[in-house]
Amino acid sequence: MRYVSTRGSAPILGFEDVTLAGLAADGGLYLPEIWPTLTRDEIAGLAGLSYVETAVAIMAPFVGDALSRTELKLLCEAAYGRFSHAAVTPLTQLDHRHWLLELFHGPTLAFKDVALQLLGLLFERFLSSRDTHLTVIGATSGDTGSAAIDALAGRAKVDIFMLHPQGRVSDVQRRQMTTVLAPNVHNIAIDGSFDDAQALVKAMFADRAFAGRFSLSAVNSINWARLMAQIVYYFYAAVRLGAPDRPVAFSVPTGNFGDVFAGYVAARMGLPVAKLIVATNVNDILHRALSVGDYSVGTVTATAAPSMDIQVSSNFERLLFDLHGREGARLAASMQGFESERKLALTADMLSEAGGIFASARVDADEMALAMRWACQNANEVIDPHSAIGLAAARAAALPADVPVVTLATAHPAKFVEAVERATGKRPGLPARAAGLFEREERYARLPAEIGAIEAYIAERATPTA
C-alpha cells in the first residue's frame, strides 16, 4: 500500500515509513492512496473470527508487504493479549436498540490503548532493522499520555518524554503515567497549562537542529497506524449485530476526529454503516462544521469530558481531503486559508456529501448527566462522561427503528470518578488490573514551561542520532 499526503506534495511512503513519520513534509497528513474494499461475502466471513483474527484480516491490506501475515498476527496477539476481556472490545446491550462498545479494557482504561498497544510494537519492530533511536515527545491532558507510556515502556530504541500540566490532570491519570518506572520513560510536570505543554512540544519540533539530533517523533492521533487499528472494532461490532445483512449506526464521542474517522474508513471499505454520529461536548466546532458548514475555531471550555475539550480537530483534514475530491493542491489552499483566518466554510456540495454518512450532535453538561443516569437506571451500567456524550447523541438521533445503534464507550468510569459520582451517586472502583495504583512509587521531573529547560533535560537523557 502506498500513502499520500492530504496536501499533495510530500513524498509517497510505504507503511513502515508512514508508521514512524509524524506530519507529512508538506504539513499534511498521510492517507492510503486507495481504500481497500471487502466484498459482502468477505464481511460475512468475519463472523466467526476472534478479535485478533479480525484485526489481521482488516489491517493486512494497509500493512502490505511491510510485515508478513504471521508477523502481523503475532504483534496483534501481543497487543490484545494485554486486554482484560477475552472479546477485547465487547458489546453490552442497553435496551432493544442501543449497545455500548466497550473500548476500555486495555491497560490504561481508555480506548487509546487499542491503537497505542499495537503502535508500540510496530515501532519496536520497524526500528529493530534500522540504525536509529527514536525520541517520542508528547503533551497530554491525561489519556494519551498514559496509553503511550504503557505502550512504549521498556521497548528497545525508543525513549518517551511526556509533558503534563502540573496539578491539572486527575490523580488516576497522573499516577498511570508517573508510576511507570521503566528507564526509557520520562515524565515531566510543567508549571503551566495543557496549552503551554502543547506549545512546548510544537516548539521542539520546530527547532530543526534539536528535532534532527534526537530523531523526534510523535504518537498523537495524526499517526496513520493508530487510525488503522481503530477500524477493526467497527467491523468486529457490526458483524456481531448482523452486518453485512443489517446496517448498523455508531455514535462516537469525538475530539480530534480520529476515532470517528476510523469508522468512516470502515464504511469506505464496504461495511454497511447506517450513520456515524459525531458527538461533541460544548466545544462543538465539528458539530457546527457538519451541520451548517461552519468550521471556525472558538475558545476551549473545560468540561467533565476533558479528552474532547478540543477546538481544532487535526484529523478532520483527512475527511476534507475526500470532500475536496482528493485534490491535494486544492485542499492545501483551503488549509492555508484556515490557518490564517481560523475558519473554513464547507460548500453545500461538501455538506451534502458528508451528510450522506455523518450526523452530529452537541451535548451539554445536563444532557451528559442525564445520559449517565439513564444508563444506570435502565441498564444498570455506569458509564464515563465521554461515553455519556456519545450515548446522549445516540438517543437523540433520528434513525430508522430497526437500525441498531452502537455507542463507543471510550473510557472506564473509574477514570472520571468525581463526574460519575456527581451524576449518578455511584463511585466506580478501579478494576483489578489498575489496583495498587495509589500504593506505587511515582517518579517525575518538575520543570518551568521554558523551552531551554525542557530541551536541556531531554538532551541529557535521550540518545542522539549518530
d(CA 171, CA 187): 14
Q: Taking the alpha carbons of 331, 334, 339, 343 in that order, is the dihedral positive or negative?
A: negative
Q: How far is CA 426 from CA 369, 383, 387, 414, 415, in A?
A: 13, 10, 16, 10, 13
Phi, psi of 334 (to 5 degrees): -60, -45
d(CA 383, CA 404): 19
Instruction: Tell me whether residue 259 or residue 317 sits nearer to ligand PLP (CB atom).
Output: 259
Beta strands 134-139 and 98-102 are unpaired
Choosing from 73, 112, 157, 202, which is the catalytic residue? 112
Q: Closest distance between ligand PLP and the C-beta of residue 305, in Å? A: 7
In the complex, which residues of this chain contact ligand PLP (CB under 6 A)? 110, 112, 143, 221, 253-259, 307-308, 386, 410-411
As a whole number of Å, the CA-based R_g of the chain is: 21
Q: Closest distance between ligand PLP and the C-beta of residue 303, in Å? A: 12
**Residue 93 grid coordinates:** 446491550
Q: How far is CA 245 from CA 152, 273, 285, in A?
A: 40, 11, 34
Instruction: Tell me whether residue 143 or residue 317 sits nearer to ligand PLP (CB atom).
Output: 143
Instruction: Tell me whether residue 38 or residue 147 sits nearer to ligand PLP (CB atom).
Output: 147
Q: Which residues contact 205 (CB under 8 A, 6 or more apart)?
A: 22, 137, 211, 216, 218
d(CA 92, CA 104): 13
Dihedral of CA atoms 125, 129, 132, 133 in degrees, nearest 10, equals 30
Residue 112 catalytic?
Answer: yes
Catalytic residue list:
112
